[in-house]
Amino acid sequence: PTMGGWMVEYLTWHWIFLINLPVGLIGCYAVWKFIPDLRGTERTRFDSLGFLLFGAAMILITIAMEGLGELHLPHLRVMLLLFGGMACLAAYWLRAGHTEKPLFAPSLFKTRTFAVGILGNLFARLGSGALPFLVPLLLQVALGYSPSQAGMSMLPLAAAAMIAKWVARPL
């Protein structure tokens, strides 16, 4: 966040996307170097149709949600996208119930703890995932911080997240 704030203030906002390049390259190298190949000898068939249905559902629903906000699409188009996404999701659900190795097995959701855990995780991730995007906006737009000041103000949040991950690992 701090480097992003500095880049926005002294370069342009376009440069903040380049931060992902070295981090991604280091991550790819670490995976290649340290993660063992644990693939077994048994191969199962990939559910291509299920993948396409589920992917289409996610894309259509996402575009519909964006259409209401940023894209300013007509309401009829948004409703058609949403209906198409829900239809693809229903088709996936029906297919997953009748195929031997579905992408995501619907039977998992019959376990109450799994279903509640997934739902809770959804809301937790929505909340925590929004913080790095919304707090800098609040600091800049509502409180008048410069981009670099907003980035510096995000340091405690980033440090706390790293410490929490380190402390929670043994748990």
Q: Per-residue pLDDT for 1 more than 70?
A: no
pLDDT at 82: 95
Alpha helix (H) ranges present in the chain? Answer: 2-10, 20-34, 48-68, 75-98, 112-137, 147-153, 155-168
Structural domain boundaries, residue 115: 1-36+106-171
> Given 102, 130, 145, which residue is the final one in a domain?
102
Please state the rounded mean pLDDT for residues 26-36: 93
Q: For residue 45, with 0-12 CB atoms within 10 Å meaning exposed, 13-18 middle and 19 or more buried, which class applies? A: exposed
Query: Between these two residues, 144 and 158, which has the higher pLDDT value?
Result: 144
Model confidence band, residue 31 (pLDDT cutoffs 50, 70, 90):
very high
Residue 84 lies in a domain: yes
For the chain, give the longest Cα–Cα distance. Answer: 59
Residues 93 and 112 in one domain: no
Residues 120 and 76 in one domain: no
End-to-end C-alpha distance for the chain, whole angstroms: 28
